[in-house]
Chains A and B, each alone.
Chain A
Amino acid sequence: MARESLNDVLITGQQTYQSIDNSVGSMSLDPKRHKKNWFVMIGIAFLLLNLFMVSVGWLLYQGVGVWGNNIPTGWAFDIINFVWWIGIGHAGTLISAILLLLKQQWRNSINRFAEAMTLFAVICAAQYPLLHTGRPWVAAYWLLPYPNIMAVWPQFRSPLMWDVFAVSTYATVSILFWFVGLIPDLATLRDKTQNKIGRTVFGFLSLGWRGSMRHWHRYEQAYLLLAGLSTPLVLSVHTIVSYDFAMSVVPGWNITVFPPYFVAGAVFAGFAMVLLLALPVRAWYGLRDLITMRHIDWMCKIMLATGLIVAYGYILEAFYGWYSGNPDEWSLLNWRFFGPYNWAYWSLIFCNCIAPQVLWSPKARQSIPVVFTVSIIVSIGMWLERFVIIPMSLMRNYLPGSDRMYYPTIIDFTMFFGTIGLFFFLMWLFIRFLPVINMFEMKDLLYKLGKTPPAPAEKEKAGVGAE
Chain B
Amino acid sequence: MDNETKQGRLDLDAIRAKLTGKSGKQYWRSLEQVAETEEFQLWLEDEFPHRRSLLDIDRRSFLKFMGASLAFAGLAGCRSVFMDQEKVVPYVKMPEEMVVGKPLYYASAIPLLGYGVGVLVEQHEGRPTKIEGNPDHPESQGSTSAIIQASILQMYDPDRSQVAMQGTDISTWEEFKKVILGVLTKQKAAAGAGIRILTETVASPLIADQIGDFLKMFPAATWHSWDATGRDNARAGSQGAYGKVVNTTYDLSKADVIVSLDADFLLGMPGSLRYARDFADGRRLEATGGKMNRLYQFESFPTITGASSDHRWAMKASEIGGVAAMIAGGLGLVPTAGEVPDHIQKVVADLQAHQGSSLVIPGDHQPAAVHQLCHAINEKLGNNGKTVLHGPRVDFGPENQLESLTQLTDALNQHKVELLLIFGANPVYTAPADLKFADALGKAKLKVRHGQYFDETSDKCDWHLPQTHFLEEWGDIRAYDGTVSLIQPAIAPLFDSKSQSEMLGILLGVPLSSYDALKNAYKTKLPGKKWDIALNSGVVENTTPGPVAISVTGAAPQIPAPVSGLEVSFRECPNIVDGRYANSGWLQELPRPLTKITWDNAIHMSPSKAQELGLQSEDHAEVALSTGEKIDGGVWVMPGHPKDAITIHLGYGRTKGGTIAEGAGFDVYPLRKSASMLYTGGATVKSLGGSYGLATTQIHHEMDGKDIVRSGTLAELKGNPTLQPEDYEKAEISMYPDEVFDYDGPQWGMTIDLNTCIGCNACVTACQAENNISVVGKDQVKRARELHWIRMDRYYVGGLDEPTETVHQPVMCQHCEKAPCEPVCPVGATVHSHEGLNQMVYNRCVGTRYCSNNCPYKVRRFNYLNFSDNQSQFMDVTFDAPTKQIGDKKFTIPGKVTQGKPHGIQLLKMLNNPDVTVRGRGIMVKCTYCVQRINDSRIEAKKQGRDIKDGEIVTACEQACPTRAIVFGNVADKESRVSKLRADKRSYLLLENLNTRPRTSYLGRVRNPNPEIKA
| Interface hits, B879-929 → A, CB 8 Å | 921-924
Q: Is the CB of A74 within 8 A of B853?
A: yes
A62 contacts B by Cβ under 8 Å: yes
Q: Which residue of A lies closest to B996 (CB)?
A: A249
Select one of B794, B828, B857, B864 contacting A69, CB under 8 A.
B864
- Chain B 782-797 against A: per-residue CB contact (8 Å), 1 yes, 0 no? 0111000001011100
**A149 CB to nearest chain B CB (Å):** 15
CA distance A68 to B782 in the complex (A): 10
| Stretch in contact with the other chain, from B164-172, B182-190, B608-616, B843-851 | B843-851
**B739 CB to nearest chain A CB (Å):** 22
CA distance A1 to B174 in the complex (A): 91
Q: A327-B705, A402-B857 are in contact. Are A64 and B811 (CB under 8 A)?
A: no
B contact residues, range: 35 or more
Q: A64-B847, A75-B849, A160-B848 are in contact. Are A398 and B785 (CB under 8 A)?
A: no
Q: Which residue of A lies closest to B780 (CB)?
A: A65
A173 contacts B by Cβ under 8 Å: no
Q: Is the CB of B922 within 8 A of A327?
A: no
B704 contacts A by Cβ under 8 Å: yes
Q: A249-B820, A401-B809 are in contact. Are A134 and B924 (CB under 8 A)?
A: yes
CA distance A328 to B923 in the complex (A): 29
Q: Is the CB of A249 within 8 A of B780?
A: no
Which residues of chain A are within 8 angstroms of B923 by Cβ–Cβ distance?
134-135
B349 contacts A by Cβ under 8 Å: no
CA distance A403 to B699 in the complex (A): 6
CA distance A243 to B225 in the complex (A): 67
**B957 CB to nearest chain A CB (Å):** 17
CA distance A406 to B858 in the complex (A): 15
Q: Is the CB of A73 within 8 A of B784?
A: yes
Q: A155-B826, A160-B824, A400-B700 are in contact. Are A134 and B853 (CB under 8 A)?
A: no
**A397 CB to nearest chain B CB (Å):** 5
Which residues of chain B are within 8 angstroms of A399 by Cβ–Cβ distance?
708, 793, 811, 856-858, 990-991
**B572 CB to nearest chain A CB (Å):** 26
Q: Is the CB of B794 within 8 A of A401?
A: yes
**A302 CB to nearest chain B CB (Å):** 33
**A58 CB to nearest chain B CB (Å):** 12
Which residues of chain A are within 8 angstroms of B861 by Cβ–Cβ distance?
71
**B609 CB to nearest chain A CB (Å):** 24
Which residues of chain A are within 8 angstroms of B858 by Cβ–Cβ distance?
71-72, 397-399, 402
Q: Is the CB of B864 within 8 A of A65?
A: yes
Q: Which residue of B lies closest to A138 (CB)?
A: B846
A312 contacts B by Cβ under 8 Å: no
Q: Is the CB of B847 within 8 A of A135?
A: yes
CA distance A95 to B854 in the complex (A): 36
A331 contacts B by Cβ under 8 Å: yes
CA distance A72 to B825 in the complex (A): 16
Which residues of chain A are within 8 angstroms of B345 by Cβ–Cβ distance?
none
Total residues of chain A contacting the partner, CB 8 A? 52
Q: Is the CB of A72 within 8 A of B784?
A: yes
CA distance A398 to B820 in the complex (A): 13
Q: A72-B784, A132-B848 are in contact. Are A398 and B865 (CB under 8 A)?
A: no
Q: Which residue of A lies closest to B701 (CB)?
A: A400
Which residues of chain A are within 8 angstroms of B863 by Cβ–Cβ distance?
63, 134
CA distance A62 to B865 in the complex (A): 6
Q: Is the CB of B827 within 8 A of A143?
A: yes
Q: Is the CB of A404 within 8 A of B784?
A: yes
Q: A64-B922, A401-B698, A402-B791 are in contact. Are A143 and B853 (CB under 8 A)?
A: no
Q: A65-B785, A132-B848 are in contact. Are A398 and B857 (CB under 8 A)?
A: yes
CA distance A331 to B463 in the complex (A): 62
| Interface hits, A312-330 → B, CB 8 Å | 327-328
Chain B interface, >50% SS class? loop
B852 contacts A by Cβ under 8 Å: yes
**A363 CB to nearest chain B CB (Å):** 46
Which residues of chain A are within 8 angstroms of B780 by Cβ–Cβ distance?
65
A164 contacts B by Cβ under 8 Å: yes
Select one of A136, A160, A407 contacting B826, CB under 8 A.
A160
Q: A134-B863, A249-B854, A399-B793 are in contact. Are A155 and B828 (CB under 8 A)?
A: yes
CA distance A152 to B861 in the complex (A): 24
A360 contacts B by Cβ under 8 Å: no
Q: Is the CB of B864 within 8 A of A248?
A: no
Q: Is the CB of B991 within 8 A of A68?
A: no
Q: Is the CB of B828 within 8 A of A153?
A: yes
Q: Is the CB of B785 within 8 A of A70?
A: yes
B342 contacts A by Cβ under 8 Å: no
**A12 CB to nearest chain B CB (Å):** 51
**A326 CB to nearest chain B CB (Å):** 9
CA distance A404 to B924 in the complex (A): 18
Select one of A70, A138, A157, A397 contacting B864, CB under 8 A.
A70
CA distance A407 to B695 in the complex (A): 14
Q: Which residue of B lies closest to A157 (CB)?
A: B823
Which of A75, A159, A398 counts the most chain B CB atoms within 10 A?
A398
Q: A71-B784, A158-B824 are in contact. Are A249 and B994 (CB under 8 A)?
A: yes
Q: Is the CB of B702 within 8 A of A134?
A: no
Q: Which residue of A lies closest to B786 (CB)?
A: A71
Q: Which residue of A lies closest to B854 (CB)?
A: A248
Which residues of chain A are within 8 angstroms of B698 by Cβ–Cβ distance?
401, 403
Which residues of chain A are within 8 angstroms of B791 by Cβ–Cβ distance?
401-402
CA distance A332 to B338 in the complex (A): 52
Select one of A69, A248, A401 contacting B824, CB under 8 A.
A248
CA distance A73 to B990 in the complex (A): 21
CA distance A154 to B831 in the complex (A): 12
Which residues of chain A are within 8 angstroms of B853 by Cβ–Cβ distance?
72, 74-75, 248, 250, 394
A405 contacts B by Cβ under 8 Å: yes
B19 contacts A by Cβ under 8 Å: no
- Chain B 762-804 against A: per-residue CB contact (8 Å), 1 yes, 0 no? 0000000000000000001001110000010111000000000
Q: Which residue of A lies closest to B921 (CB)?
A: A63
Which residues of chain B are within 8 angstroms of A64 by Cβ–Cβ distance?
847, 864, 922
Q: Is the CB of A400 within 8 A of B784?
A: no
**A156 CB to nearest chain B CB (Å):** 9
Select one of A70, A139, A394, A403 contacting B848, CB under 8 A.
A139
CA distance A397 to B862 in the complex (A): 17
Q: A72-B784, A73-B784, A133-B922 are in contact. Are A65 and B865 (CB under 8 A)?
A: yes
A142 contacts B by Cβ under 8 Å: yes
Q: A133-B848, A139-B848, A155-B826 are in contact. Are A71 and B785 (CB under 8 A)?
A: yes
Q: Is the CB of B826 within 8 A of A69?
A: no
Which residues of chain B are within 8 angstroms of A398 by Cβ–Cβ distance?
706, 856-858, 991, 994
Select one of B823, B854, B857, B862 contacting A134, CB under 8 A.
B862
Q: A401-B809, A401-B811, A403-B699 are in contact. Are A69 and B825 (CB under 8 A)?
A: no
Q: Which residue of B lies closest to A132 (CB)?
A: B848
B340 contacts A by Cβ under 8 Å: no
B860 contacts A by Cβ under 8 Å: yes
Q: Is the CB of B706 within 8 A of A63?
A: no
B688 contacts A by Cβ under 8 Å: no
Which residues of chain B are within 8 angstroms of A157 by Cβ–Cβ distance?
823-824
- Chain A 325-349 against B: per-residue CB contact (8 Å), 1 yes, 0 no? 0011001000000000000000000
- Chain B 124-159 against A: per-residue CB contact (8 Å), 1 yes, 0 no? 000000000000000000000000000000000000
- Chain A 183-214 against B: per-residue CB contact (8 Å), 1 yes, 0 no? 00000000000000000000000000000000
CA distance A402 to B853 in the complex (A): 12
* 25 A-B pairs whose Cβ atoms sit less than 8 Å apart in the complex: A63-B863, A65-B783, A65-B865, A70-B864, A71-B858, A132-B848, A134-B846, A134-B921, A134-B924, A135-B845, A135-B846, A154-B826, A160-B826, A248-B850, A250-B854, A398-B857, A400-B700, A400-B704, A400-B706, A401-B708, A401-B791, A402-B791, A403-B698, A404-B697, A404-B784
5 new A-B contacts at CB < 8 Å, known A133-B847, A139-B846, A155-B827 = A68-B783, A135-B923, A158-B826, A399-B991, A400-B701
The 9 A-B pairs of least Cβ separation, nearest first, read: A134-B847, A134-B922, A401-B793, A74-B849, A65-B864, A65-B865, A70-B784, A402-B858, A139-B846
